[in-house]
């Protein structure tokens, strides 16, 4: 898949699939959805969701 760059630094796309319902600790920061807490699905603080 091709996406426009969201960051000015090297990054990678990681696809994650969850069963529904699921919970994420995410808050808006600089017009992006940013993880605020590590989670059981491997998400880490500072991860950006797209």
**pLDDT tens, residue by residue, 14-38:** 887 888 878 889 999 988 899 999 9
Going from N- to C-terminal start, the domains of the chain cover 18-50
The whole-angstrom separation of Cα 28 and Cα 17 is: 21
Both structure tokens of 43: 């998400």
Would you place residue 1 in the very low, low, confident or very high pLDDT band (cuts 50, 70, 90)?
Answer: low
The whole-angstrom separation of Cα 22 and Cα 4 is: 27
């Amino acid at each position: 898949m091709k996406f426009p760059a969201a960051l000015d630094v090297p990054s990678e796309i990681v696809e994650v699939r969850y069963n529904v319902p699921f919970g994420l600790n995410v808050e808006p920061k600089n017009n992006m959805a940013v993880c605020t807490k590590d989670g059981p699905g491997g998400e880490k603080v500072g991860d950006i969701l797209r």
